[in-house]
Structure formats: C-alpha cells, structure tokens
Chains A and B, each alone.
Chain A
Amino acid sequence: MKNTPFHKLPPRAIRVWQLGSSIGNLFFFGIPAVYAAVFGMESFHFWIVVTSSVIIALIWVFSVAVLPYLSWKNWRYAVDAKEIDLKRGVLIKNRTLIPLSRVQHVDTRQGPLLRWYNLASVTISTAATTHEIPALDEVIADRVRDQISKYARLAEEDV
C-alpha cells in the first residue's frame, strides 16, 4: 500500500499533554463551585455538588493519566514527495491524506508549554482545512516543515 514509514511523536508529548490537560481541565471544577455558590449546600443540592465533583474528578484523572498516553500511542504521521498522511484518534480513528500540491503554507508553532519541553507543533494549511502535527521535537519540526515546503514547491510544478 505504501512504502513511506510512519513516524511516532516523541514520548515527551505525553508529558506536555498531561501537564496541559491537568491545568486546562481544572476549569470544569468551576461548575460545581458555581452551583454551590448559587444554590447553597442544603439537602439535595449538597448531593448534586458532591456527585458532580466526584464525576469531574474522575474525568480529570482520566484525562491526565490515561488519555495523553492513548493519543500519543495512536498518533502517526508520514510525509513523502506526494502527500502527507496523518493517522490519529483514540476512539474514533482518523486517517487523512493531504496531497502536497494542495498545501498552501506550513508553520511551526510553539507555546510556552511546548517551549519548556523543546517541542513545537507543525501546522499545515490547505485552501479548505488546517491540520496540525502536535508536539514534535523542535529540530524535527523544523525539518518536517522544510521538507513539506520543499515538496510542496516541487509538487506545484507537476500538477
């Protein structure tokens, strides 16, 4: 079917996602907090607050301890002279093919979290959609970006 090897993301990506979702998903604890502030903690309101807090805590633990590892395990990307091939998804598996002649521009991005771990993400834009390879090693990300833009220039010519 295909002779280009698929690459994995670096294992450090798991750490970044764990950190990111542990902070980001704290926001959900605001829901029972607000509820408690509005309705108080009397009688059955108390139980609603408690159960929702427990459920959110479980989700939080799952999103920190399990989900990042699973997403990392399911992420694969391949770039060759003709197309970019992305596989991702924990429950819903996606596979996307992007012909290189359709690539309009490629960027690398790096937020503070990614920079802390010396990672960067590569964003691929076509006229219709934007795709991201998240959390690659800085050096690799630059290499992938250069590779894609070189191939894209070549592909432009033989369309």
Chain B
Amino acid sequence: MHVWLKKMFEFQRQHPVAAVSRALSLIRGNLITIIVFLVVGARSESFPFLWWIGGGFAFLLIVGVANWWRFLFKVENGELHIKSGVFVRKNLYLSKDRVQVIDITSGVLQRMFGLVRVDIQTAGSTSREAAIDAITIQKAQEINRLLRADEYADESEDQQFKPEEKPHKEFKLPAKELLIAASTSGSFGIALSILATVFSQIEPLISESELFEYLFETLPSQTDFIFFLTVIVIFVVFAWLLSFFSTLFSYGNFNLTVKENEMVITRGVFEKKRVTVPYNRIQAIHVAEGMIRQPLGYASVHLESAGYGDEAGTGSIVLFPLVKKSEVLSLLDEVVPSYQKEMSGLALPKRSLRRYLFRSTFLVTAATAVLYFWLELNNWIWIIPLLALFWGWLKYRAAAVAWAKGAFIFRSRTLSKSTAFINRNRVQNLTISQSPFQRWRKLCTAEIYVASGDRGKSFSVRDIEAETGIWLLNEMQRRKGSETKSEPLEKDDRIIELPGWNQAAN
C-alpha cells in the first residue's frame, strides 16, 4: 500500500474504514426516517421488504465510499487543507495559528482497525471545525505536531503515547456515583420511544403467537385495563434498563482534567469520547437537579461552550454527570473560579403562583375530563391533574433570579430544576417580555440568550415582578465603573440566597 508512505504535504485519503463509518453516521443521522420507513414497510404486504433494506444499505455504502474517495487532506506550511464533497467540491483551510483544539478519539469501529479520529477546532467567534474520520495513530500524531502552535510543538495531545505536563487537577466519577447516575438518568423518554417503535414493529407477530394467547389466558383479571397496565409496567422496566446501560456505557471511565487554560473531558466505555474546552469559550454553567435525583441530593453540572458543537450542533457539555448538591459549589470553585456563584436573589411574588398553577393544570385537566367522560375511565384518572397541580407549584417554588456585579443566576424548572450561572459579558441578549395578563398583574418574563455550539441557548424565568425585569435591564446596561445601585430594595421576604444548596431547607 504505497498510499501509507505518502508525505504529509501530499494529498492523501483516509483509511478505507472511513467509508463505513460515514455510512454508519448517515444511518445514525437519519434514524427516525429509517424507522418510520421500516414501520410503513412492515405494514404493507406487497412490499418487497428485504430488497428495499438491502438496496438501502448498498446505497449508503456507495455514498460512503464515494465520500471517502473524494476526501483528500494534506498539511503544508502549517496549514491543513481538506478537499471534500462528491459533486460540490468543498475546500477547507485551517491555518496553524488559528487552531485551538485538537482532539484525538477512537470509536468502536476505529479501534478494531487500530485507527483514530481527529477533530480540529479553530479559535474565534466564527470558529470552524474539521474532522478526519479514520487515520493511523502515527498520522494523527504528525498532524498534531504540525498544527499545534510552537509552544505546544513538543506536547502530545494523546496521553497514551507521551507523558505530558502534570495536569493541575483531575476529577473522576466514583463507581457508586456512576451507578446512581445510570439508574436515575433522564433518558427515559428516549428509551420509551425507541421501545414503542420496536414494539409496533413486532406487535403483529406477537399477537398471532401462541405465547401471547397463553399470557392472555393466564393473566389474572380479564379486564383490558389491568392488561394494559402490565404492558406499561413491562415497558417502563425495559426503558429503565435501556437508559441505565446507555448511561453506564457513555459515562464510564469519566475523567475531567483541569489544565492551565483548558479542560479535557474523556468518557465512554466502548466509544471513547474526548472533549477539550478552552476556558475562554465557556458561556454559561448550569446545574440540573432531575426529578429523581433531587430528593437524593444529587445534581449534574453542564456547561455551554461557544463554537464547539456536538452532532446536534448544540454546545452543551456534561461537565460532571453526578455530584452531591452540597459539593457542587466547591467543585465549581475548583474548575471555574472566575464565576461568582453565590448572591442574593428574588423569589417570585405570591401572585405568580396562580399563573403557574393555571398553566400547568389547564390543558391536563381539560384532556383528563374529556377522556374521563368519553372512555368512561375510573376515578383514579383524576390523580393526573392533581400531579400537574403539584408540578406547577414545584415550578413556582424553583423560579428565582439573582444578579450581582456583572453576573446573573437564573433558576427555573421544567422537569428538572436548573440553576444557570451567566456572566454579563457572555450575554448575547436579554429580553424582557410582557403579555397583557402579565401587564395587568405587573409581572414579566426574563430570558437570557448565550451562545452555545453554532447557535444559541436561552435561560428564562417566567412571571417575575415587572420591577425585577427593570432591575435586570439596568444591570445589563450598567457602565463600567459607574456605581448605580442595583441591589433589590430590602423590603420583603422574597429575598433568598441563591443557589442555596448549602442550606438544609430547599
């Protein structure tokens, strides 16, 4: 294979495995479409099903191979040049002095062939990314050497090969915490929907099978209701198992290394993921307390980073999968000392509670009533609106805003309670909005946008005092050095300490 003897300054192709990994990523990207297609296909009788599946895979492979063939890269004069695209030729140039992060990772497929994947990101607000899917480790090392700015020239990115400067701090996820994280993970819904799809696939097969008949016969109480309940319970258990193992595999071997001006997060059992986040890209930090995790006193910590997107294009990165609520602040002090993490803020006024309760129960109650009379369900169904009422109250309790010199904390709840720390110099925009009803009640909604990946993310708190909205706008407009008083007036009991994790009562 003379291809492998090529010098770096000559155009070359990736390892052929890249064709397969491309095809796989296409499947992953269009999973929903494919599943829908399969469901429709399985339903219709006259459909030459296997032909279609076979043809589809062949097509994907051809696309993958074509992409691999047309993908050429070289490094010359400190510049990475990538040509790609089957019909439309794309040229991408990344020059050495703009390169900020080089991540070398390996997925399952790459590892089977002893290859690695290289992700390169550039600095700046309009950061660009390039990825080389499958090349040998030696080549990756060489690219790394050629593209890192001179002060890094002798420092290898991959710890397996050269010992590097002593990192400042390392954090790992203990096994106990990992297990708790996996068993309380919120990827339930996703797992459920996957299961539902699979079930709808095999359902015609099941209903004709003898096993199903047998189950039907032997189940106690012949009511459909009990049977459905059983099916639902089985579903939930399966979904839980699915989310348990997926979390276990994706956050196993978790390691967070805090360095001089960047942090490196590696995680994953089979599919190793590695993310490097330079500090100057961190836009916001938010701590999520899930429904199940909150009573246990645990939370997960996430950060929003600009210019680095995952497959979905968002820049949300899990900074720590699971940590005790009481330890969050000390952990953040270690990792991001520049953030002000405690300030006094304002909870919501009493008159907002009505709006929260109404919002969370209105639709649910209406739907329940319709179902109740229509399907003649039993009275237990009315638990659902009560739960919704409770949920509304929880949301009201969670909502709070705080601001201090050049920093904000926004706390709110959808399902999980989220506390966001945002520095003023990272705010892309602040929007205060007021519907007619809010005007009447002298309330408003505040929303802060920060950059995240190649788009934005927003944190909002609904139904705060209209006056608080004005304070927030003032805080946003405060000039450097000008000392306008922007503390809330010490006039009522709504002043609380945020985030308040160290107090028992929360």
Which residues of A pack against B, CB within 8 Å? 1-2, 82-83, 89, 91-99, 101-102, 104, 126-129, 131, 158-159
Is the Cβ of A93 less than 8 Å from the Cβ of B434?
yes
Q: A82 to B452, alpha carbons, bound, how many Å? A: 23
> Residue B455 at the A interface, CB < 8 A?
yes
* Given A93-B434, A127-B306, 16 new contacts (CB under 8 A): A89-B433, A92-B436, A93-B433, A94-B434, A95-B431, A95-B432, A95-B473, A97-B430, A97-B431, A99-B429, A126-B456, A127-B428, A127-B456, A128-B429, A129-B428, A131-B429
| A126-B474 contact, Cβ under 8 Å, with A92-B434, A93-B439 | no
Is the Cβ of A1 less than 8 Å from the Cβ of B428?
no
Task: Kindly state the interface size class of chain B when it binds its partner.
Answer: 20 to 34
Is the Cβ of B429 less than 8 Å from the Cβ of A129?
yes
Is the Cβ of B425 less than 8 Å from the Cβ of A101?
yes
Residues of B within 8 A of A82 (CB): 477, 479
Residues of B within 8 A of A97 (CB): 429-431, 473, 476-477
Cβ distance B429 to chain A, nearest Cβ, rounded Å: 4
**A-B residue pairs in contact (CB < 8 Å), sample of 15:** A1-B470, A2-B477, A92-B434, A94-B433, A95-B431, A97-B430, A99-B429, A104-B126, A126-B428, A126-B449, A127-B306, A128-B457, A129-B428, A129-B429, A129-B449
| A92-B449 contact, Cβ under 8 Å, with A2-B477, A102-B427, A104-B125 | no
Cβ distance B443 to chain A, nearest Cβ, rounded Å: 12
The residue of chain B having its C-beta at the shortest distance from the C-beta of A93 within the complex is B434
Q: A111 to B295, alpha carbons, bound, how many Å? A: 55
> Residue B451 at the A interface, CB < 8 A?
yes
What per-residue 1/0 map shows which CB atoms of B354-391 lie under 8 Å from chain A? 00000000000000000000000000000000000000
Residues of B within 8 A of A98 (CB): 428-429
Q: A34 to B13, alpha carbons, bound, how many Å? A: 54
Cβ distance B62 to chain A, nearest Cβ, rounded Å: 38
Residues of A within 8 A of B434 (CB): 92-94
Cβ distance B312 to chain A, nearest Cβ, rounded Å: 16
Is the Cβ of A99 less than 8 Å from the Cβ of B479?
no
What per-residue 1/0 map shows which CB atoms of B419-453 lie under 8 Å from chain A? 00000010111111111100100000000011110
Cβ distance B440 to chain A, nearest Cβ, rounded Å: 12
Is the Cβ of B428 less than 8 Å from the Cβ of A128?
yes
Is the Cβ of B431 less than 8 Å from the Cβ of A96?
yes
Q: A2 to B354, alpha carbons, bound, how many Å? A: 33
The residue of chain B having its C-beta at the shortest distance from the C-beta of A125 within the complex is B428
Is the Cβ of B477 less than 8 Å from the Cβ of A128?
no
Is the Cβ of A91 less than 8 Å from the Cβ of B428?
no
> Residue B25 at the A interface, CB < 8 A?
no
Cβ distance B444 to chain A, nearest Cβ, rounded Å: 9
Cβ distance A49 to chain B, nearest Cβ, rounded Å: 27
Q: Which of A93, A95, A127, A159 contacts B451 (CB 8 A)?
A: A127
The residue of chain B having its C-beta at the shortest distance from the C-beta of A102 within the complex is B428
Q: A97 to B475, alpha carbons, bound, how many Å? A: 11
Q: A126 to B448, alpha carbons, bound, how many Å? A: 13
Is the Cβ of B474 less than 8 Å from the Cβ of A1?
yes
Is the Cβ of B477 less than 8 Å from the Cβ of A83?
yes
Residues of B within 8 A of A2 (CB): 477
The residue of chain A having its C-beta at the shortest distance from the C-beta of B457 within the complex is A128
What per-residue 1/0 map shows which CB atoms of B114-125 lie under 8 Å from chain A? 000000000001
Residues of B within 8 A of A89 (CB): 433
Residues of A within 8 A of B435 (CB): 91-92
Residues of A within 8 A of B450 (CB): 128
Residues of B within 8 A of A158 (CB): 480
The residue of chain B having its C-beta at the shortest distance from the C-beta of A156 within the complex is B125
Residues of A within 8 A of B193 (CB): none
Is the Cβ of A95 less than 8 Å from the Cβ of B433?
yes
Residues of A within 8 A of B432 (CB): 94-96
Is the Cβ of A94 less than 8 Å from the Cβ of B476?
no
Q: A126 to B428, alpha carbons, bound, how many Å? A: 6
Residues of A within 8 A of B480 (CB): 158
Residues of A within 8 A of B431 (CB): 94-97
Q: A159 to B479, alpha carbons, bound, how many Å? A: 12
Is the Cβ of B433 less than 8 Å from the Cβ of A126?
no
Is the Cβ of A129 less than 8 Å from the Cβ of B456?
yes
Of B428, B430, B433, B436, most A-chain CB atoms within 10 Å: B428
Is the Cβ of B449 less than 8 Å from the Cβ of A128?
yes
Q: A1 to B469, alpha carbons, bound, how many Å? A: 13
What per-residue 1/0 map shows which CB atoms of B175-216 lie under 8 Å from chain A? 000000000000000000000000000000000000000000
Residues of A within 8 A of B457 (CB): 128
The residue of chain B having its C-beta at the shortest distance from the C-beta of A99 within the complex is B427
Kindly list the 7 A-B residue pairs having the minimum CB-CB distance in the complex, ordered from nearest. Answer: A128-B456, A127-B451, A128-B428, A126-B428, A128-B449, A96-B431, A98-B429
Residues of A within 8 A of B477 (CB): 2, 82-83, 97
The residue of chain A having its C-beta at the shortest distance from the C-beta of B458 within the complex is A128
